[in-house]
Each structure stands twice: as structure tokens, then as C-alpha cells.
Structure 1
């Protein structure tokens, strides 16, 4: 085998573009600062789960560092530690962004006092989907180390990673259907608490915008998940593995665009406004139960749950 063939026979098939990676990393850091500003702005409000917002700047910092490390990878002078470090940071940080969507959706539905909008109990949405995210996180993390090896271990690492991203994509498809169903139910009037007399016109408008923001971010995240599934389904010698343009265009770009949506319309602000609308007279929400309310809904609207949601 010639020297040039030995140079190409590595885990990565190209020399990362320094300028492109530094720009992407800088954008991630800028996004982290923007999210941190949002968090400090709303830290004194009593919105349930506002602390979940810190996963966004944290994830952005991890991704930014990963892209700063990438230019140091040299196919002709391959260093295992450098590859594993950037791989873990870039591949696993989107798990934080996805988990944020799970948590905010459940808390937004809880704030409306209309659990029927979601076909999964809103207080269980984040638990179910975040745990699915954690499991796929572990699978992808374990596979990432094997991918840095040559031979059979690299093949098995790619297969295990494919299972992880496949499960993550499946989980996010289920979550996307949950958001679409909730938006449809709210649009046909099943959410009585969306009346302007209870929440206020601004809160109602922001809630509607929140649903559309979820649709946009979900679409971008599904693009990224689909890319990762196809990347490892086609194998290490596929065209998706041999060009950095696919990584930037179908992984970094969709995630940055999805995060930009949350920068422009921060969802925790919406949860705060909805919660404030009920804080003015929380017992009024309990009294305005529909006449055909089921026992499950009555239990949800009990004083115990109201006080817990307002805590």
C-alpha cells in the first residue's frame, strides 16, 4: 500500500476546512450567549421549568468547542483522542436541544390547564421523551468510541450508532405527532383556557406562535436525524462520509436554524405569560371545568396540581 493510500485509510476521509469550522463554532458560541441573556432575563419569573433553558447555552458551547477542535484533525496524522473529543461534542450535543423541546412542550401544555390537548399526560411528556433521549445518548456515545477503531470494531461502532440515531429519530417523530395533535385540538376549540378573557390576548397570540415555532424546529431537527441515519446506513465509504459539506449543510445548518427560532421567540417567555394569566385567579380555572369533565381531568385540576403548577 502506497503512502498516499495509507494517508487516506483513516476514520475520516478528508481534511476539515479550518475557516468553515471556526465560523460554525463561533455561531454556536454566539447562540449560547443569546440564550444565556434570555435565561437571565426570565430567571425571576415563576414559569415552571424555566431552568431547563440552561441546556440550550450548554449544548451550544459543547457544539462550538467541537467545531473548534475539528480543524486539528489530520487524516495523515490521525490522533484518536482529538477525533473522539470532537465526535462526542458534535454528535451528542443535539440531545440537549431535543430534550429542551420535550420539556418546554410538556410545561406549556400544563400551563394552559388543558391536559386534553396532549394524548400523553403533560406532566409525563418530558419524563418519557427525555429518558428516550438519554438512552439514545448512551448508545451513540458508546458507539462513538468504537468508530475511532479500524477493522471490525469500526464496523460495529457504525452499526450501533445507527441504532442510536434511528431510535432518536423514531422518538422525535412520535413527539412531532404529539405537537401536531395538540395544535389541531387547540385550533378546533378544545382548549377553553385559551379564551382571551382568562389568558389575555398577548398570551393567546404567543401560544399560537409557540405551536408554529415547534413545527419549524421539529422539521429542522428531523432533517438532521434523517441525515445521520442515512450517513451510517450507507456505510463508512458512502458519499455522505467523504465530504464535509454534508455535515455542515445537513447537521450544523439545520440545528443552528432551529435554535435561531428559539432565540427570536423564546418559549419560556410564553410559558411565563400563560402562567401569569392563571395566577391572577387560579381557582377560576378549576370552577370553569366542562360539564362532562372526566374523573381524570377533575383530579388534574385539583388544588394540589394547581398549586404545584404555580410553584
Structure 2
């Protein structure tokens, strides 16, 4: 390896970066198609994050292995490491819409308070997205600052080490926040399964653990996406903990296998099954059941708001 080649410890693979960039670009186009067709503007963070990641990998192709360009390095570093924050934000916002779909009583309160609770969530669903997205923005800014330090550090190992430390702080904080979110999701699903099993819904041949097909698809998608994001977070934490000359940062194959691939899969699940289509089916089924219960028990019918109108308040 050329001693002057200080920023990257390897020569970027042109085929590997081009293929990864294309995969992200294809996913972004699929997401834009869904959003345009269904007018799900709240989900724009997903294709924007995919486009940014795609640009990051395409930019890597232009890195000169003998005379690396600092501006290009900074762009690819920030786009690849920090832009996936958009994928986390999408899952955070999706959680509130999931609660609205499975809980016919959530959103029926005319006051539409941000602190309105759901029996499935120990945190008010409307503030879940806000809290976690703000944490996401904070960790994103930390990672952007770290990327700038790494890119402009040159031969200043002190500045490079500070950049590595900031990246480590950012990805650790991001990983912890997503772990807490996954725990929240787990509690929600445990409460939902327990309730439906007590109601005898698990006796139906069309259900699994009391969950109907669409709810199971939605829950599985969120868990699969979260697992992939967690793999990537653990990789980044170990990478930055090892420092600039660590084994993970010194071989590009780890970037493709433990960063790019998990994230492509994490958002790819939503390219196969657009969540709002599934949530609409869940909401229709759950609310039909609620209306039937109201008629049979003589209770007054619940006001059943749409998923988007309920969670936007």
C-alpha cells in the first residue's frame, strides 16, 4: 500500500461500489413510485436516504487511489455513514401508524392530545416519532461533524482520532436509541398477542399467535428491518472503536457485507411490501371488528379516524 494513501486503507472496488449504488437507486425509485401513487408524503425520508446512500457509493468510484480528493471523501463518508438515519426515522414514524391501525380507540379522542395513550404502547404514540427522530437528528449532526474532521484531518492524527471518537459517540447513541425503540415495539407486540390470544383469535387457522396475516407481515417487516439496522449499528460501533487502523476499517469487504447489505435489506423489505398498504388492511379488519362489537354489545360506535389523520396531530 502506498504510504501516501492515508485516508483509506484500501483501494475502493469499482464493481462493488457501482452495484451497491445501483441497488440503493432502484429502491429509491420504488419508494418514490409508492409515495407518488399513494401520496404518502410523510415517507419521503426513505427514498431521500436511499438516494443519498446511492450517491455516497457512486462517489467512492471517483476516489483516486494515489491522490485522494478530500471533498469527495467527505461527501462519501457523510452520505454513507450518516444518511441511513433517514431509514431509522421512517421506522420511528411507522410505529405510530402501526398503533393507529391495531388500536381502534386511539385517535377517537376529540381532543387529539399529543399525550393520548394507547393500551399497546407505554409511551404516547404521537411523541414516539418526535422523541426518536430528534435523537436521530442529533446523532446525524454528530456524525456529519465527525466526517468533516476525518476528511480535513490530513496528517493531523490528533484531529483524525477526535473524528473517530465523535463517529463512535454518534453511532453508539444512535444504536442505543434504536435498541430502546425495538424494545418498545416488542412490548407493543407482546400486549397485542396477549390480548388477541385471550380473545381466542389464535384458534383461527388463518392466524399465528393470535395475529392475522397482515399484522404478522407488518410485525415481521419491522423486526426484520430492525435486525438488519442493528447488525449495521454493531458493525459501525466496533469499527470506530478499533480506530483508523483497525481491521474492519482496513478491508472494504466489511463495508459491503456488514453495512451496505444489511441496510439494503432493511429498507428492501418495504420495497416488497409497502407498509401503508398493509396498515390499511389491518385498520379495516380491526375496525370492522370494533364496529361489530359495538353493534352486538349495544355500545355507541367509535369514531374511527384514518391512520394519517390520527398520527399527524
TM-score (ref. length: structure 2): 0.82
Mapped partners of 2:159, 2:302: distance in 1: 55
Contact kept, 8 Å, 1:278 with 1:285, in 2: the verdict is no
Superposed CA offset, 1:9-31 (max 9, x none): x1111110111100110111111
Q: Which residue of 2 aligns with 1:164?
A: 170
Unaligned runs of 5+ in 2: 107-117
1:273 aligns with 2:281: yes
State the shift of 1:56 in Å. Answer: 1.4
Contact kept, 8 Å, 2:218 with 2:279, in 1: the verdict is no
Q: Which residue of 2 aligns with 1:214?
A: 222
Superposed CA offset, 1:210-245 (max 9, x none): 111111111100000001110000110111111100
Q: Which residue of 2 aligns with 1:175?
A: 181
Mapped partners of 1:288, 1:227: distance in 2: 54
Q: What is the count of residue pairs matched by the alignment?
A: 287
Unaligned runs of 5+ in 1: 44-49, 292-300
1:80 aligned to which of 52, 57, 70 = 70
The structure richer in helix per residue is: 1
Contact kept, 8 Å, 1:169 with 1:222, in 2: the verdict is yes
Superposed CA offset, 1:24-79 (max 9, x none): 10111111111122223322xxxxxx322222111111111111110111242021
Mapped partners of 2:296, 2:244: distance in 1: 59
1:147 aligned to which of 150, 155, 175 = 150
Q: Which residue of 1 aligns with 2:265?
A: 257
User: Do the aligned partners of residues 144 and 193 (structure 1) sit closer, same or farther apart at CA in structure 2, a change above 3 Å counting?
Assistant: farther
Equivalent runs, 1:220-259 vs 2, <5 Å: 220-259=228-267
SS at match of 1:188: helix
Q: Which residue of 1 aligns with 2:109?
A: none
1:63 aligns with 2:69: no
State the shift of 1:280 in Å. Answer: 6.8
Q: Which residue of 2 aligns with 1:295?
A: none
User: Do the aligned partners of residues 70 and 193 (structure 1) sit closer, same or farther apart at CA in structure 2, a change above 3 Å counting?
Assistant: farther
SS at match of 2:119: helix
State the shift of 1:187 in Å. Answer: 0.9
Q: Which residue of 2 aligns with 1:47?
A: none
1:105 aligned to which of 88, 95, 107 = 95
Mapped partners of 2:264, 2:251: distance in 1: 20
User: Do the aligned partners of residues 165 and 194 (structure 1) sit closer, same or farther apart at CA in structure 2, a change above 3 Å counting?
Assistant: farther
Mapped partners of 1:137, 1:194: distance in 2: 45
Q: Which residue of 1 aligns with 2:115?
A: none
Mapped partners of 1:272, 1:107: distance in 2: 10
1:137 aligned to which of 128, 134, 140 = 140
User: Do the aligned partners of residues 4 and 27 (structure 1) sit closer, same or farther apart at CA in structure 2, a change above 3 Å counting?
Assistant: closer
Alpha-carbon RMSD across the aligned residues, in angstroms, is 3.2
Mapped partners of 1:267, 1:280: distance in 2: 20
Contact kept, 8 Å, 1:38 with 1:266, in 2: the verdict is yes
Mapped partners of 1:55, 1:64: distance in 2: 14
